[in-house]
Structures are given as C-alpha cells and as structure tokens.
C-alpha cells in the first residue's frame, strides 16, 4: 500500500464524529433538553414583553435610550428606523429578532464575562481558553448547525444556542483584555492596603475593565445580529425568515426588506450600546 | 533597646526566576550574581539583607537602579514573597503568615506610597484617601471623616470630590500620602514616593513629610535614589548594591566613613559643607562654666587658668548656653571693681551661638569672624559643643580625601 497516494481515506474522522454525536443524542438528549429550559424562559419573557408592548411605547423607550446614551441625532434616527420597519410590515419579526438577540447577548455575558475575568487573572486559564476561542471564531457556523439541531431540535432556542457559540468570543476576549490592561501598580496598591483577591476584582479590576467589557458587549451584539439569517435556517424565525424565504423563492424584494430591517436594527443597537461604555 | 525595634530583617533573599533553590545554592558557594544569571536565567534581587529599623525613625534605602530597593520594601509587606529569610514586624514573621494574617497586618499596620502615585482613576480623591479603610470594612461615614482629616493634613480637603486626573503630580502624591495616613499605620512604606515630582515640589513634600513626622512619629521606610533626599529626611540610611546592603548608618557616618567605592560614588560632587550640620562636627573640648549665684568672675577666671584656656562657655543649670567669656573680659570686669558676681557683663558681644542643624556652609562666616571656637546649641538652646577653625578645616579636608581616593580608583 502506498501511504502517499492519498487515494484512500485512512482516517475515517467523519464517521467517528457521526458516531459520537449519535451516541450523545441517543444517551443524553434529555440532558440537552434541560439545558434549553433557561434559554427558553429568557427568550419567551422577552418575546412576550416586546409583543405585549404597544409599538409606540417601544419606539419611545428606544428613542429615550438612544437620546441618553448616544445623543439627539441617534434618537431621531431610531424613531425613523423603527417607523420604517413598522411600515414595511416587519414589526413582529423585528421584535422576535430583538428578543432573540438580547437573549443571546444576555447568555453570552453571563458566560463570557466570568470566563474573561478568569482568563484575565490566570495565565494558565488563558492559555487553555485561547484555542477554544480561536476555534469558535473560525469554524463556519454551518458546521455546528447540524449537531445543535440534533441535540436541541429545530427552533428559536437552537438558533440562540448557535448564536451564542458564534458571538461569545469577543466578550471573553475584551473582558480578558480589560482585566489585563489594569495597571499592575494599582493592583499592588490595593494589595498593599490589605485587599483580598475578591476586593481587588470588585473594587479595582472590574470597574477599570468596564469600558472594555462594554466594547465586548457591543461586538457580541453585532455578531449576534449577523447570525440572524443563519439562525433562521434552523427555524429561529424573526427577521431571518423573509431573507431565507426570499432566497428560496427568488423573491428579491422580500429578501431586501428583511435585510434592510436587520441593518437598521443593527445600527440603532450599535449606537446605543457604544454609548454604554462611555457613560 | 530590643523593644525599640519595629522591623527586623534577617538574612533576606529574593531570587526571581525558575530555579530559586539552585541559585541560592550557587550564592552560598560564592558564585556572583552575573554568573548565576548566565547559568540559570534567574535574577538575584536581594541577597542576605539584614537590618533593623527602629520605631519612629525614617529609614532610607538608597542605591542605583536595579539594586533591589523596591524588592526589599515589597518583602516587608510581602507584596513579594521572600525566597528565604525573615521579616519580623513587632516580632512576628511576615514570611510565615497565612493569607488572613497578612491581609490583617497590611490593613492595620502598614501604609504604602508609590512612585507612580497608583491612585484609583475611577474614584474621587476622598474615596481614594478612604480606600484602605474601605477595604477594612469601615462604614462610609467613619471612613470618609477619617479620610477627610488625612486630606486636611496634606492640605487637599477642598479637592475631596475631584478625580485624581484633575490634580497636578504633586497634588496626586499628596493624595497618595493621605491614603497612607488615613489608615493611621505604624509603618509607612514609601517607594521613591517623591521621585516623579519636580525638584521644587519634591523638597516641599519632603518638608511636609518631616512636619507630619514631628507631630506623629511613624516608622517610615523610604526608598530613594537621590542622595540629597536621603540626607535631608533620613535618620539612618542603608545603601544597596547589586541586591546587597553594603552600609547602614546615619548620613554623617556614611559620608565620613564610606564603606567602599560604590558608596563613595554616591557622594561624588556632593559638597560636604551642605550635608554636615554644625551639630555633626561640634565637639565638647572647651571649658564650661555653670552660672549660678555665688560663683562670679573670679571663680570663672580660676577655672580657666586651671585648664590653661582663654575662653569659657557659660551655661545655666539646665546646660543652656548663655554666653562666652574670655580671660581678658573677666579680668576687665574684676578690674572695674564693680559687681564681679554678674558674669554676664563679661560676655563677648560678637559671639552668638548657632543652631546644631545649620549647615557648615551657613556657619562659615561666623567661624571666620569670631575669635573663639563657635558655640553650637540645639533647638532648646542647650549647649552641644563648639567648632573651632581647625576642626572646620579638618572636616572639609577629610571629605575631600574621600572623593579624591575614589577618582584615583576609577
Ligand atoms: N518580577 C521580577 N522578575 C524578574 N526580575 C525582577 C523582578 N522584579 C525585579 N527584578 C530584578 O531584580 C533586581 C532588583 O529590582 P528592584 O526593582 O528591586 O530594583 P530597584 O532598586 O527598585 O530599582 P529602580 O531604582 O529601578 O526602581 C533587578 O535586577 C530587577 O531586574
Ligand atoms: Mg524601584
């Protein structure tokens, strides 16, 4: 046998992965279904809230947030954008997407900020975490869509899970960076006055890393928004739907308004969250 | 005097890098720092440092960059853990303390002031000053009241609600000092606390520190690479070279008897007349006369004749200096046949005593003008001794020899 002709497959990695995932699904599907529960609750709450709220109230609230964090111009832009979305007939889809994106970002923050803090405080943990983050950022989302669907079945929650995998790295990296950027003399000063490790984190590292963490949150949010269309492929619904449907049926108009609404939503959320870090 | 010792450092070593034990072994075999670095890639930060710091003194640690000064202060509050040796604070070894004890001693007994100020940029000046108390879990009202008092001590109470970056460097370091004072520590560690300030502000801060120290005696460990600073504020100075403490003593001791060329190098270009004060060189070789009723000019004259001296220094019962008499002035008084009991009439009018803290430079004009050795007194007016012209010149000469020798070695 010639080892260098590469005519035959010698390592059946694809089969192994297949077997492994099948095994996981067969034995641990229940476990994965319980993992879904908190995400489902979070998503449903936001969805309920946004849909129960009269659109006008929603627009006013968003405008106030924009005014407070990003100034008058953005407030006006926000009002115009959301009116346009409404007139395009995409209000409900937009609210679903907003609920989805906020849920994803919420869980990214919940997991990502502690991971980032641990990485920022421990060389060893950073060393271990870095390849995982690299992988998450480079693996195309389509690759993990299938196992996600197999384990969590089709639907919005699976969409959120895929989004979390995709959008998690920036908040971890920027939290880590923020913690590391704190001047060592400040930590030394805190220790010299008798700070415990927890006090150093709470009173020095975290507050000083906050702008960086906020920048990470903003990045994570933007990435979550960019997953909207892909998530729609596994039944996540929302603004991804018109785009996917437009693609399938070659209705270019439908795809365009879906795309436009995503862009407008992204711009508004971007401006507002950028203001968070500065205030 | 054992209870007078606040901090005792015994055979302290710090080795940075991967093989501290190996480096320790090499050191004990007499291998030098550079060779050890080449062989093991470990840096000897401090080697075999031993000294005692007394309660209430300002102990200055001086040395060139990289000589281990910062490492040594950080081993006192164990921001850096020693490789071996002991650091006893009030008799308790900091090196052996567990985390809880360490946090406690840092909160209760020690304050620290940093070269780069190290103020928290997200807190106000008041919150910064109260930081140590906050860490100790003291409630907001109490800690802010105490912090405000500390800010008053450094003259910054009106800035309490500003952020540190609104303040000048000098003011920021006052906040740093206030933060250290607010916890009311026994020990204040100051790592080149004034080095980042421009010279004028620096002297001002030194004076301020000395003033604070007068009111409330703390044990201060002050790191400096500036000789003038060390001389000004140090009660005693330790000089470090390559991680070793090469000499410890009062500024005058070290100036007059430098242990080696390295120490001498510090004093190059230093004008001894600026550093040595009158009190440092005054000697008690002259005849003194205690002035009390019943003893008059005759008795004094007799005493001077007995010692074969021309001048006598008259003190009161508390050894406070009153004036100088000479055999001539005493005879003149007796010849007048007046009241020979009042010896003050025989005082030489052109001689006034100088303070022991005056520098040699300051007393130089007096030395040349007055006929007798110049009397020196302390702040309470108590007689300390005299400086004659010969003594003055000898001191100058000795200092010059020290510097010359060094230049020959170079
Ligand atoms: N964390 C560290 N890791 C490795 N080497 C160190 C470390 N800290 C200090 N050193 C080395 O130990 C030696 C003493 O350093 P130290 O900071 O105590 O000097 P210093 O006298 O305070 O100097 P400076 O005047 O520059 O502040 C130097 O050779 C330094 O390079
Ligand atoms: Mg230093």
Tell how strand B236-241 and strand B58-63 pair up. parallel
- How sure is the predictor about B405, in pLDDT bands with cuts at 50, 70 and 90? very low
- CB neighbourhood size of B349 (10 A): 8
Interface touch A189/B111, C-beta < 8 Å: no
pLDDT at site B407: 41
Residues of chain A with pLDDT > 90, as a percent, come to: 78
Centre of ligand 1 to C-alpha B17, Å, is: 12
What domains lie within chain A, and their CATH numbers?
Answer: 28-278 (1.10.3720.10)
Each residue's pLDDT tens digit, B278-326: 887 888 777 777 776 556 788 888 888 888 888 888 888 888 898 898 8
Residue having the nearest C-alpha atom to atom 25 of ligand 1: B65
Q: Which residues of A163-193 are buried (b: 16+ CB within 10 A; e: fewer)?
A: bbbbbbbbbbbbbbbbbbebeebbbbbbbbb
Per mean pLDDT, which range of A125-134, A189-198, B286-295 is the poorest? B286-295
Averaged pLDDT for residues B10-18: 93
> Cα dihedral angle (B64, B65, B70, B72), rounded to 10 degrees?
-50
Q: Which residues pair with B376 in a beta bridge?
A: B354, B385
Give the pair of three-digit tokens for residue B398.
């000795």
For ligand 1, which residues put their CB under 6 angstroms from it?
Answer: B 16, 43, 45, 63, 65-71, 225
Write out the residues surrounding ion ligand 2, Cβ under 5 A. B 70
| pLDDT > 70? residue A32 | yes
Facing A193 at nearest CB: one of B119, B122, B183: B183
Give the pair of three-digit tokens for residue B212.
């604070």
Q: Which residues of A56-94 are buried (b: 16+ CB within 10 A; e: fewer)?
A: eebbeebbebbbebbeeebbebbbebbeebbebebbbbb
* Rounded CA separation B69/B239 (Å): 9
Q: Order of strands, edge to edge, in the sheet holding B187-191?
A: B110-113, B187-191, B219-224, B58-63, B236-241, B244-249
pTM listed for this prediction:
0.77
CB contact at 8 A, B278 and B360: yes
Each residue's pLDDT tens digit, A61-90: 999 999 999 999 999 999 999 999 999 999
Q: Helices (H), strands (E): how many in chain B?
A: 18, 16
């Amino acid at each position: 046998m010639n080892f260098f002709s590469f005519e035959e497959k010698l390592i059946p990695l694809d089969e192994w992965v297949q077997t492994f995932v099948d095994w996981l699904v067969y034995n641990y599907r229940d476990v994965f279904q319980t993992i879904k529960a908190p995400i489902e609750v979070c998503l449903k709450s936001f969805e309920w809230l946004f849909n129960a709220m009269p659109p006008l109230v929603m627009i006013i609230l968003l405008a106030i947030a924009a005014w407070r964090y990003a100034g008058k111009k953005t407030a006006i832009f926000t009002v115009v954008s959301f009116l346009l979305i409404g007139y395009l007939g995409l209000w409900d889809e937009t609210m679903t997407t907003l609920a989805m994106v906020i849920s994803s970002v919420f869980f990214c923050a919940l997991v990502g900020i502690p991971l980032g803090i641990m990485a920022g405080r421990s060389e060893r943990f950073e060393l271990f975490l870095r390849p995982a983050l690299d992988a998450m950022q480079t693996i195309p989302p389509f690759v993990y869509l299938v196992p996600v669907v197999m384990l969590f079945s089709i639907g919005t929650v699976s969409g959120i899970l895929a989004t979390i995998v995709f959008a998690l790295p920036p908040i971890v990296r920027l939290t880590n960076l923020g913690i590391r950027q704190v001047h060592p003399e400040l930590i030394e000063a805190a220790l010299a006055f008798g700070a415990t490790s927890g006090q150093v984190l709470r009173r020095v590292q975290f507050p000083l890393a906050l702008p960086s963490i906020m920048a990470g949150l903003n990045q994570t949010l933007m990435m979550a928004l960019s997953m909207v269309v892909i998530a729609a492929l596994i039944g996540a619904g929302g603004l991804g739907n018109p785009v996917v449907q437009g693609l399938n049926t070659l209705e270019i108009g439908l795809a365009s308004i879906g795309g436009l609404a995503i862009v407008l939503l992204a711009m508004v959320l971007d401006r507002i969250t950028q203001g968070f870090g500065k205030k | 005097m054992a209870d007078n010792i606040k901090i005792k450092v015994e055979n302290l070593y710090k080795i940075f890098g991967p093989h501290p034990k190996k480096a320790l072994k090499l050191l004990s075999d007499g291998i030098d720092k550079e060779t050890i670095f080449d062989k093991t890639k470990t840096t000897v930060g401090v080697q075999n440092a031993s000294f005692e710091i007394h309660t209430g003194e300002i102990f200055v640690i001086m040395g060139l960059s990289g000589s281990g000064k910062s490492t040594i202060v950080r081993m006192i509050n164990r921001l850096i853990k020693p490789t071996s040796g002991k650091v006893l604070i009030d008799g308790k070894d900091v090196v052996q303390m567990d985390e809880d004890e360490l946090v406690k001693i840092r909160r209760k007994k020690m304050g620290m002031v940093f070269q780069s100020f190290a103020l928290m940029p997200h807190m106000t000046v008041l919150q910064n000053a109260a930081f140590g108390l906050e860490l100790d879990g003291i409630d907001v009202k109490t800690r802010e009241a105490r912090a405000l008092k500390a800010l008053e001590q450094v003259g910054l109470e009106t800035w309490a609600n500003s952020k540190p970056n609104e303040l000048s460097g000098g003011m920021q370091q006052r906040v740093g000092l206030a933060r250290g004072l607010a916890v009311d520590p026994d020990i204040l560690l100051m790592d080149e606390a004034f080095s980042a300030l421009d010279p004028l502000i620096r002297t001002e801060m030194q004076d301020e520190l000395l003033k604070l120290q007068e009111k409330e005696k703390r044990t201060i460990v002050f790191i400096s690479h500036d000789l003038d600073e060390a001389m000004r504020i140090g009660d005693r100075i330790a000089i470090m070279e390559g991680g070793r403490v090469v000499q410890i003593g009062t500024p005058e001791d070290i100036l007059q008897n430098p242990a080696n060329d390295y120490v001498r190098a510090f004093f190059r270009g230093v004008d001894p007349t600026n550093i040595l004060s009158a009190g440092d060189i005054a000697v008690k070789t002259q005849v003194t006369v205690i002035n009390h009723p019943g003893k008059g000019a005759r008795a004094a004259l007799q005493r001077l004749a007995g010692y074969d001296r021309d001048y006598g220094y008259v003190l009161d019962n508390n050894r406070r200096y009153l004036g100088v008499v000479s055999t001539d002035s005493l005879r003149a008084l007796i010849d007048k046949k007046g009241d020979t009991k009042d010896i003050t009439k025989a005082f030489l009018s052109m001689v006034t005593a100088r303070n022991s803290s005056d520098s040699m430079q300051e007393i130089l004009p007096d030395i040349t003008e007055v006929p007798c050795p110049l009397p020196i007194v302390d702040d309470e007016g108590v007689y300390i001794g005299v400086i004659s012209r010969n003594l003055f010149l000898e001191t100058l000469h000795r200092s010059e020899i020290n510097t010359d020798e060094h230049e020959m070695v170079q």
